[in-house]
Amino acid sequence: MTKTQPETTTAPVLEITGLTRQFGGLRAVADFHERLAPNELVGLIGPNGAGKTTVFNLVSGFYQPSSGAIKVNGVDTKGLKPHRITALGVARTFQNIRLWNELTVLDNIRVARHGKLGYGFFHAVTRSRTYHEREHEIEREARELLEVFQLDRHADELPKNLPYGTQRRLEIARALAGKPKLLLLDEPAAGLNSVDIQELIRLVRWIHTHFDVTIWMIEHHMDVMMELCQRIKVIDFGETIAAGTPEEIRNHPAVISAYLGDDKI
Amino acid sequence: MQRYSAPLLLVIAGALLVYGAKAEWLSLYVLSVLMFMGVNVILATSLNLVNGSMGEFSCGHAGFMCVGAYTASILGVLLFSGHKSFGEAWLPAELAVWGFPLLILAGGVTAALAGLAVAIPSYRTRGDYLAIITLAANYIILSVVENLDIIGGSRGFMGMKKIVNGMEETLEVPWLPLWVFVFTVFTVWLLRRYLSSTYGKGVMAICQDEVAAEIMSVNTDRIKTVTFMLSSGLAGIAGGLFAFILGYVNPGSFNILKSTEVLVMVYLGGMGSLSGAVLAAIFFTLLLESFRFVIPWLNTLVHQLSLVPESYEVSQVWKWVLIPLLLIIVMQFRPEGIMGNRELGDLFPKLKRFYRFK
Ligand SMILES: Nc1ncnc2c1ncn2[C@@H]1O[C@H](COP(=O)(O)OP(=O)(O)OP(=O)(O)O)[C@@H](O)[C@H]1O
Ligand SMILES: [Mg+2]
């Protein structure tokens, strides 16, 4: 790093330029731009099928862009496998919870440390000193994380036996296990009741202040977004139609027509 | 207590085996059944790693067994006993006592490399494709061996009995049963260690949700390769032992029926259950053995009733009927197998207080 470059603290965690993804004839994401600075909490909204999840899938490397570039902490992620992108500091949750249901809650957290395991096959089967040291630390950190998320009493249970809200919380905890710089939350409030939603708002805010992490979230519950996000971007049919503070977005004519349907058509 | 009970028990079992064989209260027949049991345990637990724990479908396990069997046999004959196509033995026969485990391990390594060659093209494919690729690999391996005249082609390869006899002359110990026992324990222990580490739990994560695994930082290609190589390597070890137990090998022993046998054991035991695979292998060996007694009787019966032509021998076909039938019956009536995906320790939590085997 040379001195002439901008200060590392303001260098973007994520920089997306001209991102487009085509599925056959469908442009799910069209010319999308975004720049997330460290510690921002930003929202992405849009009607059903707008392309929000596709943006997250492109960032996490699950899909390859048709064109455009994605940089995570300054590294171009073109052609990288998802686990390599995760290693660059990106973690995410899924719109439909994707926990490993036959692994215990504790193991769900532990396996999410794979990218920073620090040992491999031979250490695992010889039970070397490195293995014991690393496993010890991984277990300690995993238990700490569970405690922080008030999941410690479920440590030995299977995720599928937990209430829905608890599964959501576990999925967020799992995403944080690898100490990411960027956390993508895809509709974390989906399927939650109003009490759980209030708890989720507190949780996200708490994560944002206590973990050194940038949060980018998709959510249909506008009250959640209004309460949490510093700024919000709106997409519809893959196109960005508005961007601004929650206040600006709430009253934006394009947003209102996208959500309520356009009278002119 | 908990820590030492399992090793202690194993040492006692090993000692009993050696003593029983020397004192001849374990007959040669009983010993051979025990040895096939060990080989089957290795085969079932190693295939269970891929089919049960990782949730892929490999069905050419006998192919890797074949690679291991021929590698260990050829190497053994080359080094310790000499052969008409290779000439004199390179090393004195007395050294076989020490060299034997290395022969078996060499078979394992070669089989693991064959596994690597199969694993790489399977990255891009999913589900049923691995089944087709492994099936094809099984056939390719057999045809290669069948067409190599220098190692006997389809007639098979011999000379291993001499090595085993040589070992027992050098030092009067029932070497073969002992080594089968050691490698069987080694296999189960290795798999147990692998699967209980955070690294190895990536295997289960892949089985349950591969996309989530990859996105949560698991290098799925790497884990699949390592797992597949481990599985085929262990099959190679089983193959090596199998070759030395029989004293000769021919490609026919490693055909698709053998692969199916291993599949039956895995599905019988329960997908993803290591202890289930061990139990199923033991049960399956005893079952097949008991059929050996029934078959001659059945043969006479069907001939007396003139149900089949004169030339027809039940003993040659019964396996082809029984084993696939067993697979169908298991699938129909207990698709989760004996143990489901649980381990002995999960079924009997109190057992955990008494043993630890990692
Ligand atoms: N793998 C795919 N193949 C084909 N089309 C796809 C694929 N993934 C997404 N799409 C399409 O892309 C469009 C955007 O989908 P996406 O899931 O990103 O929407 P979304 O904004 O997340 O919607 P929702 O709010 O319902 O989650 C949809 O029309 C969808 O059908
Ligand atoms: Mg979506």
Residue-by-residue DSSP string for B130-186: HHHHHHHHHHHHHHHHHH-GGGTGGG-EE-HHHHHHHHHHHS-S-HHHHHHHHHHHH
User: Quick one: closest CA in B to A119, which residue?
Assistant: B199
For ligand 1, atom 8: residue with the closest CA: A54
CB proximity A107 to B under 8 Å: yes
- Minimal Cβ distance to B215: which of A82, A107, A138: A82
Asked if A114 and B219 come within 8 Å (Cβ–Cβ), the reply is yes
Q: Does ligand 1 lie within 6 Å of residue A23's CB atom?
A: yes
pLDDT at B126: 63
Distance from CA of A209 to the nearest CA of B (A): 23
pLDDT at B98: 81
Q: Does ligand 1 lie within 6 Å of residue A48's CB atom?
A: yes
* Exposure on the CB side of residue B214, measured as CA atoms within 13 A: 15
Q: Does ligand 1 lie within 6 Å of residue A53's CB atom?
A: yes
Domains and CATH numbers, chain A: 37-66+80-101+165-260 (3.40.50.300), 103-157 (no CATH)
Map out the domains of chain B as residue ranges: 2-254
Per 3-state DSSP, chain A is made up of helix, strand and coil in percentages (nearest 5) of 40, 20, 35
pTM, to two decimals: 0.90
pLDDT at A3: 43
pLDDT digits (tens, 9 = 90+) for B296-315: 787 788 778 777 777 777 77
Q: Does ligand 1 lie within 6 Å of residue A96's CB atom?
A: no
Reported ipTM exceeds the 0.85 cut: yes
For residue B346, the tally of other CB atoms under 10 A from its CB is 14
Which protein residues have a CB closer than 5 Å to ligand 2 (ion)? A 53, 95
Which of the 8 DSSP states describes residue B52? I
Distance from CA of A1 to the nearest CA of B (A): 27
Decide: A222 and A249 in contact? Cβ < 8 Å.
no
Decide: B108 and B240 in contact? Cβ < 8 Å.
yes
- Minimal Cβ distance to A111: which of B194, B216, B341: B216
In angstroms, rounded to a whole number, what is the distance separating the alpha carbons of residues B272 and B195?
A: 10
* Exposure on the CB side of residue B74, measured as CA atoms within 13 A: 19
Q: Does ligand 1 lie within 6 Å of residue A251's CB atom?
A: no
Residuewise pLDDT in 10s, chain B (358 residues): 566 778 888 888 888 888 887 777 878 888 889 999 999 999 999 999 999 999 888 889 999 999 999 999 999 888 877 766 666 667 766 777 788 899 999 999 999 999 999 888 776 666 678 888 999 999 999 999 999 888 878 888 888 888 888 877 777 778 888 999 999 999 999 999 999 999 999 999 999 999 999 999 999 999 999 999 999 999 999 999 999 999 989 999 999 989 999 998 998 888 888 889 999 999 999 988 888 788 778 778 877 877 777 777 777 677 778 888 888 888 888 777 777 777 777 777 676 666 666 6
**How many Cβ pairs within 8 Å bridge chains A and B?**
97
Which of A44, A54, A93 is the pocket-test mutation for ligand 1 (most atoms within 8 Å of CB)? A54
Nearest Cα residue to A119 out of B251, A127, B130, A158? A127
Mean pLDDT in order along chain A per 10 residues (265 residues): 49 94 93 94 93 96 94 94 95 95 96 93 93 95 95 95 94 95 95 92 94 94 91 92 89 80 50
